[in-house]
Every structure is written in C-alpha cells, then in structure tokens.
C-alpha cells in the first residue's frame, strides 16, 4: 500500500509511505503539479519501504527538477545514481507527466 501525506509550512513536504511502484507515479505527479511553481517541494522518503524501477526513475527526475529528496534510504539513493549514470542526460522517465505537460516527453 502507498500513501502520500502533505504538510505545508512555507515549504511543501510530501511524506511518502509504503510501497511505491509505477502505478503510484501518476498520483504523486498530480499532487506535485498542483503546487505553486515558486514553492519549495520536499519528498520525505523515510517511510518508503519498497520501490520499483519506474518509481526510482521518477524520484531521480524529481530531484533533477529541483525537488529535494530527504531521508532517502541508501538503497534508493544508490539506485537513483545507477539509473542516472545509465541514462543519457535529458532523457526523462517513461511516466513523467511533467515532461509531457511541458512538451519535452519522449
């Protein structure tokens, strides 16, 4: 099960809880899209217990777009770095609604 808790106090903090997979990416993307562009967004990964490759790619893309990842488990951080080094610069994750919304998707 995957849950998102949103907290706002000058910054917007999304606490991701549980197992995140490709099916959850659009839900998180929709919530991120609702945020004001000038507001700092943080994804707290402390309670994220399991991720799949699509989720890792999405989280890596979020970080490239300026979203801060906090409390990132070591295995997720390492996986993001491996995915980043394996993908050419500028290639966006398959499920990135942000890329599609800005006309930069694949």
pLDDT in tens, 51-105: 999 999 999 999 999 999 999 999 999 999 999 888 655 545 444 444 444 444 4
Query: Looking at residue 38, what is its pLDDT?
Result: 83
Q: What is the Cα–Cα distance from 53 to 21, expressed in whole angstroms?
A: 8
Q: 0.95 cut: is pTM over it? A: no
What is the dihedral angle through the alpha carbons of 93, 94, 96, 100, rounded to the nearest 10 degrees?
A: 120
7 touches 31 (CB < 8 A): no
CATH for the stretch 2-101: 3.30.750.24
Please say whether the dihedral angle defined by the alpha carbons of residues 44, 39, 6 and 90, taken in this order, is positive or negative.
negative
């Amino acid at each position: 099960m995957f849950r998102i808790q949103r907290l706002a106090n000058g910054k917007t903090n999304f606490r991701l809880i549980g197992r995140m997979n490709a099916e959850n990416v659009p839900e998180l993307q929709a919530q991120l899209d609702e945020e004001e562009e000038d507001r700092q967004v943080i994804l707290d990964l402390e309670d994220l217990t399991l991720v799949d490759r699509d989720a890792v790619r999405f989280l890596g893309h979020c970080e490239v777009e300026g979203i801060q990842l906090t409390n990132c488990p070591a295995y997720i951080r390492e996986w993001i770095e491996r995915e980043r080094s394996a993908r050419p610069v500028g290639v966006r994750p398959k499920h990135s609604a942000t890329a599609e919304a800005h006309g930069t998707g694949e």
